[in-house]
Every structure is written in structure tokens, then in C-alpha cells.
């Protein structure tokens, strides 16, 4: 027997299985809300920050991305907003409409493609000014292109027709998209916790204390005591590590949801970044989507 046959079979079972149901509408609802929050945030600052006479005007923006300097990849950073900054606001509104469409699963693939195009152009316009979590949202919108379609408003009708005629390859491709989201999210949390551990301030609590002193979060500045900062810093790191363990072990998946909720609450208390919290909550939905399969799911992510 080929020693690789078992791992290959398990790999295929993980990425291409067709015997479970993907709650694509719930996933798209989460992504739609996350995209909506992102576009609203861009709408609020776009003109004042990236307009012709904004804080970071197109000339300064081009310079900072390294235009004309080899090795910076600036030649690939195409964005309509360098040439036509007046399109920023209309583009954000189009993004908002697309986000609503994604959330309602109405023409979700077209809407996701439109949202990705606009978000990527915004990112290319000012890559160092993007919000936390935005680099997570764009790939998720792309992954969602592989999910099945079916509008929320016409759920029962489309569900039955789709199930009866959908060829297997569509289900397999949907599983690939679904798994991409799950694995990517876990990698993001791993990235988050390792970034924190790479910063001495998270070991001493000073990173959190500084953030509390700045008063960016929902906690009052008076709460910026060394003791509370130390507790919070270690708790945030531990919660992320525990989340990673919980998510890998199916029986503890629900504990993972609690841990992620704690992490998001801590984020609001310390940094008050509602956009990041909404993006993380929205993109985490694939982790909690139920698997109704004839055989038990073998792999957790």
C-alpha cells in the first residue's frame, strides 16, 4: 500500500469533500457586514485624507509607495484614485451597495468582485493607512466567489433547485472556498498572537498600558494601571492561544466561540477599533457554520 495514500485521501477529504452543507448565506451575511463597516469607514475619511488636497495627497501617496523605485512593486499598485481622486466618494458608495448585496446574497459573486476591486484600489492608494483587519477581508471576499449562490430572500426556492442539479465539482469548489476561509482565519489569529509575542511590551504589559493611557479604547484612562495592564496583556495572549487549541479540537469548538468573543471584547476595551471587531466577527462565521454530514467531520478547520 502506498504510504501516501492515507494522507492524500485525508487531504482530499478535507479540501474537496461534498457530504456537508455550507451555510453560505450566513457566511455572506458576515462578510457583507464586515465589508459594509469597512466602506463606511473609508467613506468617512476618503476625501479628507486621500483627496486632491487631503492629508496624503496623490503626489505624496505615489512617492510613499515607491513609485519609480525598483523592488517596491509600485508598478503593480494600480489605483484609479491616484488619477481621479474625485471618484473616491462615489466608489465608496458603490462599495456600500455591493456590501449590502453580498449580505443579502443578491448577485453575491458580482457584488464581491466589485467590492474587492474597490477595496484593493483603496489599499493601493494608501497601503500604510489601511485599517486593522482589512487585509483579511479582501481574500475572504475572493474566497466567497467559490461558495454556492442563492439569495436569502428566496432561500427555500433556490436551495431545492440548486441541490437537485448542482454537479459535484461545484460542491467541491465550495468546500475549497469554505476551507480557505477557515484556515486563513486561524492563520490570522496565529499571526496576531505571534506579532504580540514578538513585542516585549506584551510580555511586560507595557503595550496594553500605553494603549490604555492613550485612551483609544472603551476603558477610561484612569484604568491604565500597571496591574490591570499586565492582566489584560496576558489574558489577550492566552485567549488567542486557547482559541487556536479550541478551534483545532471539534468538541471544544463552542469554547472557541466564547474565546473569540472575549478577544473581541478586549479589543473594544483596549483599542476601541469597532471596524476591526466587526471584520473579525464577520470573517469568523465559517468556523461556526454547522456541518450536517452523513459521516462526522474529521478535521477541525
Partner 1 sequence: MRVSDSNLSTSASIPPLWKWILSGTLVIHFVILWTVYSSNWRRSSTQDRWLNSFHPYLFGLGLGSEMVPVDWGRAPSADLPTRLVLQYEDKALIYLDTKTMTWDRLKQRQLLGILASTIEAGDDESVTQLLASVVAHAEKVQGNGFELVRVEKISDPEVGYEEIYRASIVHEENAPLRFVPALEPQRTIRRVVETGGAQR
C-beta of residue 126 within 8 angstroms of C-beta of residue 88: no
> In this complex, which beta carbon is closest to partner 1, that of residue 155 or of residue 160?
160
Provide the residue count of the chain.
Answer: 301
Name the maximum alpha-carbon separation found in the chain: 69
> In this complex, which beta carbon is closest to partner 1, that of residue 167 or of residue 251?
167
Output the smallest distance, CB 171 to partner 1, in A.
Answer: 8
> In this complex, which beta carbon is closest to partner 1, that of residue 168 or of residue 251?
168
Output the smallest distance, CB 161 to partner 1, in A.
Answer: 16
Instruction: Quote the cell numbers at residue 223.
Output: 484604568
Q: How many helices (H) and strands (E) does the chain have?
A: 15, 0
> In this complex, which beta carbon is closest to partner 1, that of residue 62 or of residue 87?
62
> In this complex, which beta carbon is closest to partner 1, that of residue 25 or of residue 148?
148
How many CB atoms neighbour CB 7 within 10 A?
10
Q: Using CA of residue 235, residue 236, residue 240, residue 241, what is the dihedral sign?
A: negative
> In this complex, which beta carbon is closest to partner 1, that of residue 106 or of residue 301?
301
Output the smallest distance, CB 82 to partner 1, in A.
Answer: 13
Output the smallest distance, CB 6 to partner 1, in A.
Answer: 15
Whole-angstrom distance, CA of residue 245 vs CA of residue 288: 15
Output the smallest distance, CB 187 to partner 1, in A.
Answer: 6
Whole-angstrom distance, CA of residue 153 vs CA of residue 138: 25
C-beta of residue 290 within 8 angstroms of C-beta of residue 24: no
3-state SS assignment for residue 184: helix
Output the smallest distance, CB 176 to partner 1, in A.
Answer: 7
Output the smallest distance, CB 34 to partner 1, in A.
Answer: 13
- Please give the backbone phi and psi of residue 99, each rounded to the nearest 5 degrees, phi first: -65, -40
> In this complex, which beta carbon is closest to partner 1, that of residue 201 or of residue 252?
201
Whole-angstrom distance, CA of residue 231 vs CA of residue 270: 12
C-beta of residue 131 within 8 angstroms of C-beta of residue 44: no
Amino acid at each position: 500500500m502506498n504510504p501516501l495514500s492515507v494522507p492524500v485521501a485525508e487531504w482530499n477529504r478535507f479540501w474537496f469533500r461534498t457530504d456537508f452543507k455550507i451555510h453560505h448565506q450566513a457566511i455572506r451575511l458576515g462578510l457583507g457586514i464586515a465589508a459594509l463597516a469597512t466602506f463606511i469607514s473609508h467613506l468617512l475619511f476618503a476625501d479628507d485624507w486621500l483627496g486632491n488636497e487631503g492629508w496624503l495627497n496623490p503626489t505624496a501617496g505615489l512617492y510613499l509607495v515607491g513609485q519609480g523605485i525598483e523592488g517596491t512593486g509600485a508598478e503593480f499598485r494600480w489605483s484609479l484614485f491616484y488619477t481621479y481622486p474625485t471618484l473616491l466618494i462615489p466608489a465608496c458608495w458603490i462599495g456600500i451597495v455591493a456590501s449590502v448585496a453580498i449580505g443579502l446574497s443578491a448577485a453575491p459573486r458580482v457584488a464581491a468582485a466589485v467590492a474587492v476591486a474597490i477595496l484593493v484600489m483603496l489599499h493601493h492608494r494608501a497601503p500604510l493607512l489601511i485599517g486593522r483587519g482589512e487585509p483579511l477581508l479582501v481574500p475572504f471576499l475572493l474566497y466567497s466567489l467559490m461558495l454556492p449562490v442563492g439569495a436569502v430572500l428566496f432561500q427555500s426556492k433556490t436551495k431545492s433547485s440548486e441541490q437537485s442539479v448542482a454537479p459535484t465539482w461545484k460542491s467541491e469548489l465550495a468546500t475549497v472556498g469554505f476551507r480557505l476561509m477557515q484556515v486563513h482565519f486561524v492563520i490570522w489569529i496565529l499571526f496576531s498572537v505571534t506579532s504580540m509575542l514578538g513585542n516585549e511590551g506584551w510580555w511586560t504589559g507595557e503595550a496594553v498600558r500605553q494603549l490604555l493611557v492613550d485612551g483609544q479604547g472603551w476603558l477610561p484612562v484612569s484604568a491604565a494601571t500597571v496591574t490591570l495592564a499586565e492582566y489584560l496583556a496576558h489574558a489577550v495572549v492566552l485567549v488567542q492561544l486557547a482559541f487556536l487549541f479550541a478551534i483545532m479540537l471539534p468538541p471544544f469548538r463552542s469554547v472557541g466561540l466564547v474565546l473569540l468573543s472575549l478577544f473581541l471584547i478586549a479589543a473594544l476595551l483596549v483599542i476601541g477599533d469597532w471596524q476591526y471587531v466587526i471584520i473579525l466577527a464577520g470573517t469568523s462565521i465559517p468556523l461556526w457554520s454547522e456541518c450536517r454530514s452523513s459521516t462526522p467531520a474529521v478535521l477541525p478547520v
